Amino acid sequence: MSSDNLACPSTSDLRTQPVAALDKEGIGPAMTSIPMIACSTSLSEHHSGGSGTNKNKQMVEQLQRYGLISSKKVVEVMETIDRALFVPDGTPAYVDSPMAIGYNATISAPHMHATCLQLLEENLQPGMHALDVGSGTGYLTACFATMVGPQGHAIGVEHIPELVASSIKNIEKSAAASLLKGGSLSVHAGDGREGWPEHAPYDAIHVGAAAPEIPQPLIDQLKPGGRMVIPVGKIFQDLQVVDKNLDGSVSIRSETAVRYVPLTSRDAQLKGY
């Protein structure tokens, strides 16, 4: 795994710096040009005081300040779902970096969460259905559920049963707890490459690991008018945006270069790929 180990710039240099567009699994950077907020020293100092809720809000404000969040709705949901509830105890929850969560997996850096939420925002309206493949600690699934509300449905699929169990506990402590209790949010153990047909079709699908090619079951389970965000590639990867048109045809574009671990089997992941 890798993390942001770049030197912290001065305040006057906090504009555009080459930093890692870090992935959910955090094994390596795809260098891109975005504002340098992935500096653990500066962020930890910025968040040194106040409650966890205040620190979470300050983290979101930092992302806004550096142009990584423009959507008011995404700001609202990221302020509502406290990241600290979804990272292991003792880790710096509000630093813009992925965090190891065990089982050769990590939780994404906040700026990657923001990127995916903004790309999917129009497909996460109240009453819509969302699928989170490789749901990990449950953070993004909780965000999806908050956006689609009690009349919608947010499904997390994770092939590590221990992560499924811990993610449910995380969600129970969060602002999305009532959605879990009410049944509009659920997390399941399974092979995310096969999707989750029970609640298909989906308006939004997010995939948190890189596929060599887009799995056909996920395309099949995407609703006409729906959107999927998925990293695709092996050594070189792109975060691809897949739109299913109303006639059933599919349009694909690349959003940015990324580096994710492979979308693979449980056994392969536990063996370190």
Hey, which residues are catalytic here?
108
Q: Which residues pair with 17 in a beta bridge?
A: 34
CB atoms within 10 A of CB 168: 15
Q: What is the DSSP letter of 210?
A: B
DSSP letters of 72-89?
HHHHHHHHHS-GGGGS-T
CB atoms within 10 A of CB 69: 23
Which of 53, 42, 56 minimizes the C-alpha distance to 13? 42
Exposed, middle or buried by CB within 10 Å (0-12, 13-18, 19+), for 255? middle
Q: Are 26 and 1 in contact (CB under 8 A)?
A: yes
Rg (CA), the chain: 17
Which of 99, 88, 204, 91 minimizes the C-alpha distance to 141? 204
The enclosing H or E element of 108 equals none
* Whole-angstrom distance, CA of residue 187 vs CA of residue 174: 15
Q: Are 119 and 255 in contact (CB under 8 A)?
A: yes
DSSP letters of 154-194?
EEEEES-HHHHHHHHHHHHTSTTHHHHHHTSEEEEES-GGG
* Whole-angstrom distance, CA of residue 138 vs CA of residue 89: 15
